[in-house]
Amino acid sequence: MRIGVFGGTFDPVHLGHLMIAEKARTNLELQEVIFVPAGIPWMKHGQYVTSSRHRVNMVRIAIISNPFFRLSCFEVEKTGASYSVETLEEMSKIYEGAKLFVIVGSDIMGAFDKWKDPGKVLQFADLVVFNRSTRRNKGAGARNISFKVEGADITRITWLPGLAGDISSRDIRRRVNEGRSIRDMVSDEVIKYIADHGLYLDGE
Give 60-87 as a DSSP string.
HHHHTT-TTEEE--HHHHSSS-B-HHHH
- 121 lies in some domain: yes
- The per-residue pLDDT for range 37-46, each reduced to its tens digit, is 998 765 555 5
Outline where DSSP puts E strands in the chain.
2-8, 32-37, 69-71, 99-105, 125-130, 157-160
26 phi, psi to nearest 5 deg = -75, -40
Number of domains in the chain: 1
CA distance 62 to 189: 7
Q: What does the pLDDT read at residue 157?
A: 85
Q: What percent of the chain is predicted at pLDDT more than 90?
A: 61
Provide the residue range defining the domain that includes 149.
2-196
- 180 lies in some domain: yes
Looking at residue 187, the DSSP 8-state letter turns out to be -
- The per-residue pLDDT for range 123-158, each reduced to its tens digit, is 999 999 887 654 444 444 555 555 566 666 677 888
- 203 lies in some domain: no
- The per-residue pLDDT for range 89-101, each reduced to its tens digit, is 999 999 999 999 9
CA distance 94 to 11: 26
- For residue 37, the domain's CATH number is 3.40.50.620
- 202 lies in some domain: no
